[in-house]
């Protein structure tokens, strides 16, 4: 038997609209921070992975091909194909003329969408430059945001990176985090040296907004 005196409780349209409005305001305030934190984590994860992968590739190749100082290739493609390709999982590669206002680079594409470019074939006591783009061809394609420089110098007298080793990019007299941060501010492509010393953490001091 239905009690005609009982009243069903329900939200009014005004109450629903007010609630949705509050949810919208909270989302608008928190969503940008969540997106930025996600981007920071994505950049950090991919930089760590790339750094480890490339370091291991050079070490494994040296076992097969001898010290890097003895490697020789006439162009970036041959350098990668001869010495690194079998140690690095990738889904494609191609030459990229005039990349970053330089001569031809060699692009290697990874399954997660990130891309590595290498330039300057090695010949005795020289350096090989690498550019890592965490999101491939997607914008903004800017240093310190999605593009980061790495290097391998075979001559221990050179002033860049670790002697005779795969390395993030920095000058060897930059032995503390403050000097590396300043380099990062001056040239975003060279933020890899700062991030490595900072355990790849993109903290509040980082000069670029992701």
Q: Is the omega angle on the peptide bond into residue 140 within 30 degrees of 0, that is, cis?
A: yes
Interval 108-129 mean pLDDT: 83
Taking the CA atoms of residue 20, residue 23, residue 25 and residue 29 in that order, the dihedral angle to the nearest 10 degrees is -160
Name the pTM for this structure.
0.82
Model confidence at 125: pLDDT above 70: no
More confident residue, 86 or 121: 86
* pLDDT for the residue 117: 93
Q: What does the pLDDT look like over 47-81, one tens digit per residue?
A: 999 999 999 999 999 999 999 888 888 888 999 99
Tokens for 61, please give them: 């190749």
Q: What is the pLDDT averaged over residues 152-173?
A: 86
């Amino acid at each position: 038997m239905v009690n005609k005196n009982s009243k069903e409780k329900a939200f009014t349209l005004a109450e629903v609209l007010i609630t949705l409005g509050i949810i919208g305001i909270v989302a608008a305030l928190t969503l940008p921070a969540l997106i930025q934190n996600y981007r920071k984590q994505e950049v950090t994860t991919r930089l760590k992975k790339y750094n480890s992968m490339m370091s291991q590739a050079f070490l494994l190749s040296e076992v097969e091909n001898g010290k890097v100082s003895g490697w020789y290739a006439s162009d970036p493609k041959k350098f990668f194909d001869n010495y690194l390709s079998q140690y690095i999982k990738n889904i494609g590669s191609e030459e990229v003329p005039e990349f970053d206002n330089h001569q031809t680079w060699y692009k290697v594409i990874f399954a997660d969408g990130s891309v590595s470019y290498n330039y300057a074939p090695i010949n005795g006591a020289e350096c090989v430059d690498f550019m890592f783009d965490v999101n491939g061809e997607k914008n903004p394609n800017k240093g310190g945001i999605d593009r980061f420089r790495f290097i391998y110098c075979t001559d221990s007298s050179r002033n860049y990176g670790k002697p005779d080793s795969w390395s993030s990019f920095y000058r060897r007299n930059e032995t503390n985090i403050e000097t590396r941060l300043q380099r990062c501010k001056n040239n975003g492509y060279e933020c890899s040296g700062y991030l490595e010393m900072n355990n790849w953490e993109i903290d509040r001091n980082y000069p670029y907004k992701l």
